[in-house]
Amino acid sequence: MKIDPASLEFAKTMRHTATDAENLMWQLLRAKRFMNLKFRRQHVIQPYIVDFYCHEIGLVIELDGGQHGTNDVIEYDAERTKFLEALGLTLVRYWNHDVLVRTDVVLEDLWDLCLEQKVNQ
């Protein structure tokens, strides 16, 4: 399926306006630094752009700021999760604050999840 050029351009823009949490997570995931898995950031999965994606194990990682606690966004995130899971993907969400302050806890959780995904491949 051809990806909408506007989505690709927007994803590219988002890479340059990343949050501190996204920048930190990218430094930890990029270049197969985490479990030798290849992650992409701001990856287009029509009609969405996900924060991080690993094709090899079908994993989407979303980092959420405070706005994700509002009712409208909770509803939107639920629809988005349902859509991505219908594609056979696993989605995990971490709060930006946890990525920045409890990085070791987030990485330990992510490690366990990735191991589980590899086993279930």
What's residue 70's pLDDT? 67
Which residues of the chain fall short of a pLDDT of 70? 1, 66-70
Question: How big is the chain by its Cα radius of gyration, in Å?
Answer: 14
- The total of other beta-carbon atoms located within 10 Å of residue 87's CB is 9
Q: Is 24 exposed, middle or buried (0-12, 13-18, 19+ CB in 10 A)?
A: middle
Q: What is the pTM of this model?
A: 0.89
What's residue 14's pLDDT? 77
Q: What CATH number corresponds to the domain at position 34?
A: 3.40.960.10
Evaluate whether 40 touches 22 at the Cβ level (below 8 Å): no
Domain count for the chain: 1
Where in the sequence is the domain holding 22, given as residue range(s)? 5-119
Give the residue among 88, 26, 93, 99 at the shortest CA–CA distance from 55: 88
**49 beta partners:** 44
What's residue 1's pLDDT? 62
